[in-house]
Amino acid sequence: MSYQERYERWLNSSALSPQEKAELEAMKNNPQEIEDRFFSMLEFGTAGLRGVMGLGLRRMNVHVIRHATQAFAQVILAEGPAEAAKGVAICFDCRVNSDLFAREAACVMAANGIPVKLFESMRPTPELSFAVREHGCIAGLNVTASHNPPEYNGYKVYWEDGAQLPPHHAAAIAKVMEEIDVFDGVKSMDYDAALAQGLITLMGKETDDKFLGHVLAQINDKESVAKVADTFTMVYSPFHGTGYQQVPYVLGELGIKHIHCVPEQMVIDGTFPTVKSPNPETPESFALARKLAEEVSADFILGTDPDADRVAIQVKDRQGQYIQLSGNQTGVLLLDYLLSAKKRAGTMPEKPVALKSIVTTNMARKVAEAHGLTFYDTFTGFKFMAEKKNQLEAAGEGHVVFSYEESIGYMIGDFVRDKDAVTASLLLTEMTAWYAAQGMNLLEALEVLYQKHGYHGEKTVNLVMPGLEGMANMKALMAKLRSEPLTEVAGTPVAVRRDYQDGSEVEVSTGAVTTMELVGSNVLQYRLADGTDLFVRPSGTEPKIKVYVLAVGSSGADCQEKVAKYTAWAEILKEMV
């Protein structure tokens, strides 16, 4: 069926409301728009679905949500009646239509005979991961587009361990979506009828209390916080999202007395009116928070993204300027602090392990191993870290105490299997207060770590390639890098090439090929002669190729010089297409 035929089928479908038909009618003389919306379905991957809201197969709307949920339901039912009876937990964030999409998904699950535990109102993503485990569900579903711009929404799927869906289950859902019709192949039922029949039950305070109890159990050192509580001042922003209740609550329980929440951004609003994009990884997003911090002379700024799974921080230096730390820097500091705090408190488990993604700073390995930990790399995504954690702990080979990736995501404790900004916010604040009690700020603490473990610098370059042409260019660039392997980058020889798609490692000088343990991801790595690592990887959720520069140097200046040189190379990489 052509994209034009799909468009006309939607336009003539009885499933569409008059308002929806009017939206489609408005584009009848715009073939490019019709093609963009109908040339194929949104790709269902291990991160589920994510896209711009609107009508069409390649947009996020109730019809696509129902279609994906029907496929998800059929994959669950294939596990057998006993497994399906465990039910599904469903959560949603603050975005436009998130509550509607969550309810529609619940009605499809219920119509398929799968019990649903639906949060009564929006909740942080990590609480969904917790709820799946706590309530013994077979799966979970979260309607969120995380930190994307306001026109986006998404559909994240989880399995019974509380982690995002493993690849074979994602592939099974995608296959069923291809097989069933977007309208006629879907079962649904009335929401109120599903509630009355007990097929949908609502979760609320009881699940919150259990989740927050586990979060607060991660506190290591309230005594040090108490020492500076009268003078330590901080600013917090939830960026209009789900962290607005739980993060201030846990910080208060930690003993922080002076928490100033950005009032404009404590207002729940899925249009995110005060920021260009609600991404705390972007320093510009903190403009209002910095203004408030200057007014109250805050030591520390903390911000969580709208679904409260990612967190970023800014620290006041000795000149009174607020400096944003990268996810790599924040993770290294938190890893070192957490391990030191556990040693002081006598709570370090036997055989402790730390994890990071392959594109995250190599400094983390040095910090962990200096503390006596075993350390592993995984592919990007917390589903892979959760898989490694489950594997190690089931085999008795180690207990994972900390996992992180450079994109400001951190997983701590045993009660979630996804990144968790609620717990990370608690521990980042504890860490900052602890250093304040020692007369240090985090920038000074980071310098100590650099002096001990070597200077490391990182930069991520996003090569944005939107639309149909962009998808083709992304594939073409990766194919060209494989067919014409790089031997030098910006004048520096490539020492080792790694292709994580087939697991091959090539020593460039000799041509010797070995096989890596990690295999099955579309990522290329180049280890350069000066110790720099470069990774090239298509994003799993956005139309971009990401190039990661991980440099190491004899000094901060040497390190940044390398970062700048290879960043300039990365920024013109797409000209190879």
* pLDDT confidence of residue 364: 98
Asked whether residue 140 carries a pLDDT value surpassing 90, the answer given is yes
Q: Answer whether 40-203 and 455-576 agree in fold.
A: no
Asked if 52 contacts 36 with a C-beta cutoff of 8 angstroms, the reply is no
Beta strands in 84-199 (DSSP E): 88-92, 116-119, 139-143, 152-159
pLDDT tens-place string over residues 83-131:
999 999 999 999 999 999 999 999 999 999 999 999 999 999 999 999 9
- The model's confidence at residue 43, banded by pLDDT at 50, 70 and 90, is confident
Residue 471 has pLDDT above 90, yes or no: no
Give the closest residue to 55 by CA, choosing from 18, 90, 10. 10
CATH classification of 221-453 is 1.10.10.350, yes or no?
no
Two structure tokens written together for 201 = 């039950």
Task: Report the alpha-carbon distance of residue 248 to residue 426 in Å, rounded.
Answer: 9
Catalytic residue among 98, 146, 326, 357: 146
Confidence check: pLDDT of 470 > 90: no
Kindly report the CATH number that applies to the domain delimited by 455-576.
3.30.310.50
Give 80's pLDDT tier (boundaries 50, 70, 90).
Answer: very high
Given pLDDT bands bounded at 50, 70 and 90, which one contains residue 549? very high
Q: What are phi and psi of 300, to 5 degrees?
A: -160, 135
Q: Where are the domains of the chain?
A: 40-203, 221-453, 455-576
Query: From 3.20.20.70, 3.90.76.10, 2.40.128.20, 3.40.120.10, which CATH number describes the 40-203 domain?
Result: 3.40.120.10
**Burial status of residue 568 (CB atoms within 10 A of its CB: 0-12, 13-18, 19 or more):** exposed
CA 201 to chain centre: 28
Any catalytic annotation for residue 146? yes
